[in-house]
Amino acid sequence: MNNQIFFGILNLAVALFVTIKITPKLILFGRKFNLIDKSDNRKINRANMVRIGGIAIFIGFFVSQVITFSFYFSFNSFGIDNILLNKNSFLALFGMLLFFLIGLLEDFFTLSPFLRLALQTLIMSIIWYQGFGIKVLDVNFLNYDSSPLLLSPLLSYLFTFLWLVGVTNAINWIDGLDGLLAGIALINFLGMALISFFQREFSIFYLSLSLVGCCAGFLKYNFYPSKIFMGDSGSYFLGFSLAALSILTFTGISNENFFGVVSLHKSFILLSVPILDMVYVICLRLFEGKSPFYPDRSHLQFRLLNKGLSVVSTVSIIYGLVFVLTIISYVME
């Protein structure tokens, strides 16, 4: 157990260090090549704000995982869990990489909402076909004696689509204030790390702590007043990571051939702030006859700002709400 704790802390420390070191260089790079965030009604922007911070988050995570694999192959006697050779975690990593690349394309070239959705659906379909998905649901919260619900292939695909693609975009949409998304993700990943540690699912523990380090390192430059935005590369990467790891956290990945019973209600509670915000905003836009993709200021953070709260107070309140929901997701049956 001590080896796993040490290795988890090492993952966090490496990701934190690399992200802190890379981010200032990206700020200079983004200003030099005019990679500046576009202002819209979903964000509070300031002039000359670089939008490619997601690259620093990804590099921090990537470097920490390279060290993970190096340690595994060099020091397997430590009893370190194998991440790379586990099919479910490998598919999660594959999806994280490709969603990051979609966001990166958006940051550099600007893709239409429909093209982004099509690419996300294609990637989700590939990893679902390879075995990563929601196949069996835990419905004990409806009736304590209920047996797990086996989904048909069609329902499995739809649930997986709604969760992986839906949560990713919900996370992307809530990224509208300095430090908001990075802080939310940090709290969620820290909760997943603790839950997976006590469940002895150490692969998830390592991945989650790496992402905690990335978010903490980026917050040094992204908290109010921000010096850089993470852009779509960062929000898509963190969004898919939260969606995929939240399933694994409440399922486990020990059995490679059977995905297990997914406690989706716990995952929902864990990520309910961005999910419910997206549902509310979409319903409101449709009711008003607008496109669901139309950017506006009806998100939770802007409703709080309209009450007269400062940016720091607004972000802090949402942090607190996410923290409480993370605890509830862990303690509930």
Contacts of 134 (CB under 8 A, 6+ apart): 151, 156, 159, 160, 163, 247, 259, 262, 264
> Whole-angstrom Cα distance, residue 67 to residue 6?
13
- Could you tell me which residues are beta bridge partners of residue 100? none
Return the ∠ at Cα 234 (arms to 230 and 238), rounded to 5°.
Answer: 130
> Whole-angstrom Cα distance, residue 116 to residue 124?
12
Contacts of 301 (CB under 8 A, 6+ apart): 174, 176, 177, 180, 314, 315, 318
> Whole-angstrom Cα distance, residue 258 to residue 250?
14
The chain-wide mean pLDDT, for the chain, equals 88
> Whole-angstrom Cα distance, residue 92 to residue 244?
6
Whole-Å CA distances, 167 to 91, 202, 309: 17, 24, 27
Asked if residue 281 lies in contact with residue 173, where contact means CB atoms within 8 angstroms, the answer is: yes
Which of 57-61, 177-181, 197-201 is the least confident region? 197-201
Question: How would residue 145 be classed by pLDDT, with cut points 50, 70 and 90?
Answer: low
Decide: helix, strand or coil at residue 179: coil
Question: How would residue 261 be classed by pLDDT, with cut points 50, 70 and 90?
Answer: confident
pLDDT at 76: 57
Is residue 153 reached through a cis peptide bond, with omega within 30 degrees of 0 on the bond before it?
no
Asked if residue 102 lies in contact with residue 120, where contact means CB atoms within 8 angstroms, the answer is: yes
> Is pLDDT above 90 for 82?
no
> Whole-angstrom Cα distance, residue 184 to residue 165?
18
Contacts of 80 (CB under 8 A, 6+ apart): 3, 4, 7, 68, 71, 72, 202
Decide: helix, strand or coil at residue 141: coil
> Whole-angstrom Cα distance, residue 132 to residue 262?
12
Which of 13-22, 33-42, 179-188 is the least confident region? 33-42
> Is pLDDT above 90 for 171?
yes
Backbone phi, then psi, for 129, in 5-degree steps? Answer: -65, -30
Q: Average pLDDT for residues 282-304, to the nearest whole number?
A: 90
Q: Determine how many CB atoms are found less than 10 A away from the CB of residue 283.
A: 12
> Is pLDDT above 50 for 256?
no
Number of structural domains in the chain: 1
Range of the domain at 277: 2-331
Using N-to-C axis directions, what is the helix angle for 180-198 and 2-32, rounded to 10°? 160
Over residues 41-77, the pLDDT tens digits come to: 555 655 578 999 999 999 999 999 888 777 766 665 4
> Is pLDDT above 80 for 332?
no
Which of 38-47, 58-67, 115-124, 245-254 is the least confident region? 38-47
Q: Of 175, 279, 282, 295, whose CA–CA distance to 235 is shortest?
A: 175
pLDDT at 277: 96
pLDDT at 323: 97
pLDDT at 143: 65
